[in-house]
Amino acid sequence: MAKTVLVVDDDPTQRRLVQAVLDRDGYQVVHAENGQEALDRLTRGGGADVVLLDLVMPGLSGLETLQQARAAGVRTPVIVLTANAGIEGVVRAMQTGAQDFFVKPASPERILIGIRNALQMGELTQEVVRLKKHVSGKTSFDDLVGDSPPMRMVKALGERAARSGIPVLITGESGVGKEVIARALHGASDRAGKPFVAVNCGALPANLVESILFGHEKGSFTGASDKHLGKFAEASGGTLFLDEIGELPLDMQVKLLRAIQEGEIDPVGSKRPVKVDVRLVSATNRDLAGQVKEGRFREDLFYRLNVFPIEAPALRERREDIAALAAHFIGRFNVEEGKRVQGLAPETLALLQGFDWPGNVRQLENSIYRALILADQAWLQPHDFPAVSGLAAPLSMPEVQADAPAPESVAGSPMSALETLASLPPAPDSPIRVLDERGHMRTLEDIERDLIEHAISVYAGHMSEIARRLGIGRSTLYRKVRENGLEEALAKAS
């Protein structure tokens, strides 16, 4: 998914020049003629991944636009542009929150490097904010990635539940992100900032379940050399998240029920109960109602836990969120691994959205992690996901640099389609015809469309290889695919 650059300049010529540079590097460019228009986009919808902001504009100046954007909570990286290198204005802009500045006219290399650095800084800032929220227990439903109808329902239910202390049971397949929802419940409640303690009931040793949950006194059993508080006591004042609650042994279910009902626990070896104040959130990937019928889960505990159920959707039920999830993971892993992957190539996104993801979000996360580590291009390709695409990385395919200029003719237009035809493997049933039914030459546009469609079929949708064979840049190829309505052909070939 291409990064969006907002170019804010009252000079249309300057905007076109910048767009020409960014188009060749695969960025999506949007324009604003003045500061107010840019401010509206950043604060009311649309947004951008990075902003190029001219300092001198009629009406709302660049500096005033930046000040109002930061005051409104916009944290998008901003690079300011100035025509006269006035040091005072630049210093004030940097103090207000700009990441970099250019003196117009800036070279294409300087623009691209500045944007990449700003994007990397933005990813780093986002990761720091995410980690701070995670550690402090202040993750909210606004931090959940995805805006599909199933996720909007989860957020709406979660925000309602967070306003009370009602017990919540989160259901869903393994890997859908049940703990993330539980953390958002905690962060959106009045217990935010208090302890959030997560326990995987399926990973607890059978002989230590009681001690781990409720604690024990020193000397209460062999090996109990010190007093242990237990998870309930650790979470007192905050939230206790019991994951895979269906794995809890029956004898422990009885004690858990009493702890929930009475608000007190009996540590092993203790002579008196201990009061605890805990908000309980539980989760399972099992059918607890079925387990109740089979006698493997207590009915009274089930009804006590299942007061406010929230079902976390499987990833195949929210495919429209895959693009946002992928961008989130790429940004995070770029920071963690020091990489500069810009995103998913269009054909890669189509591939990921068409996959069923039996391991859900966890599988997508790990697949992107592997692809990002092994990637040798700026955009992740289908062969970077061999388990999904079934494709191996081409052994001899040269790396396509994101900023490499496309081979062009003297006139500045892409190489002639007729000249490129000879470079394609021969195909007896090739759909490319130079002459029409009356023996006249077909238009170059028609031949070019057939040529691109044929290349997509021959090279199985590998856009980098297609662009190299046709002698054009990848961004140009993507544009021509859209203009000629070849997205479906690309999806089938991939």
CATH number at residue 160: 3.40.50.300
**Same-domain status, 240 and 102:** no
Asked if residue 330 and residue 299 are part of one domain, the reply reads no
Q: How many domains does the chain have?
A: 4
- Give pLDDT, residue 353: 94
C-beta neighbour count of 416 within 10 angstroms: 13
Task: DSSP letter for 170, please.
Answer: E
Tens of pLDDT, residue by residue over 384-424, are 999 998 887 765 444 444 443 333 333 333 333 334 444 44
Distances from the Cα of 168 to the Cα of 89, 120, 389, angstroms: 53, 38, 38
Last residue of a domain, one of 108, 133, 158: 133
DSSP state of 124: H
> Are residues 360 and 251 part of one domain?
no
pTM above 0.85, yes or no: no
In a domain, residue 30? The reply is yes
**Looking at the structure, do residues 163 and 287 belong to the same domain, yes or no?**
yes
- Return phi, psi of residue 277, to 5°: -120, 95
State the residue range of the domain holding 467.
417-493
Q: pLDDT tens for residues 44-66?
A: 877 888 999 988 888 888 889 99
Q: Cα–Cα distance between 421 and 431 in angstroms, integer?
A: 12
The rounded Cα 52 to chain-centroid distance in angstroms is: 23
CB within 8 Å of 140: residues ≥ 6 apart: 133, 184, 187, 188
Pairwise CA distance, residues 292 & 310, whole Å: 19
Rounded to whole angstroms, the Cα distance separating 472 from 273 reads 75
Residue 410 domain flag? no
Amino acid at 252: M
Cα gap 121→115, rounded to integer Å = 10
pLDDT at 81: 85
Going by the DSSP 8-state scheme, the letter that residue 271 receives in this structure is S
d(CA 484, CA 469): 19
Is 404 within a domain? no
Indicate if 146 and 278 belong to the same structural domain.
yes
Q: What is the 3-state secondary structure (H, E, C) of 173-236?
A: CCCCCHHHHHHHHHHCCCCCCCCEEEEEHHHCCHHHHHHHHHCECCCCCCCCCCCECCHHHHCC
Inside any domain, residue 246: yes
Q: Is residue 393 part of a domain?
A: no
Give the up-direction half-sphere exposure of residue 492: CA atoms within 13 A in the CB hemisphere: 9
- pLDDT by residue, tens only, the chain of 494 residues: 678 899 998 888 888 888 888 888 878 899 998 889 988 888 887 788 899 998 888 888 888 999 998 888 888 889 988 876 567 777 888 888 888 888 877 888 888 888 888 888 888 878 888 888 888 888 889 889 999 999 999 999 999 999 998 999 999 999 999 999 999 999 999 999 899 999 999 899 888 888 999 988 887 777 777 888 889 999 999 999 999 999 999 989 999 999 998 888 888 888 888 899 999 999 999 999 999 999 999 999 999 999 999 999 999 999 999 999 999 999 899 888 888 888 898 999 999 999 999 999 999 999 999 999 988 888 899 999 999 988 877 654 444 444 433 333 333 333 333 344 444 444 444 456 766 666 667 788 888 888 888 888 888 888 888 888 888 887 788 888 888 888 888 877 76
> Kindly report the CA angle at 67 between 62 and 72, in degrees rounded to 5?
125
Place of tokens 């064979």: 469
In Å, the largest CA–CA distance within the chain is 101
Residues 207 and 302 in one domain: yes
Q: Are residues 455 and 329 in the same domain?
A: no
Domain assignment present for residue 278? The answer is yes
Output phi, psi for 61, to 5 deg.
Answer: -70, 170
362 shares its domain with 216? no
Rounded Cα gap, residues 11 and 163, in angstroms = 50
Measured N-to-C along each axis, helices 474-483 and 444-458 cross at an angle, to the nearest 10 degrees, of: 110
d(CA 169, CA 282): 5
CB 252 within 8 A of CB 210: yes
Q: Which of 133, 161, 196 represents a domain boundary (last residue)?
A: 133
Buried b / exposed e over 186-208, threshold 16 CB at 10 Å, is: bbbbebbebbbbbbebeebeeee
In a domain, 270, yes or no: yes
In a domain, 343, yes or no: yes
Q: At what angle do helices 463-470 and 474-483 cross, to 10 degrees?
A: 100
- Residue 218's Cβ-side half-sphere holds a number of Cα atoms within 13 Å equal to 3
202 and 223 part of one domain: yes
Same domain, 42 and 187: no
Does 257 lie in the same domain as 287?
yes
Beta strands 274-275 and 264-265: pairing type? antiparallel
SS3 107: coil
Based on the fold, state whether residues 366 and 220 are members of the same structural domain: no
CATH number reported for the structural domain that contains residue 365 in this entry: 1.10.8.60
Token pair recorded at residue 75: 């944290």
Domain boundary residue among 313, 331, 361?
Answer: 313
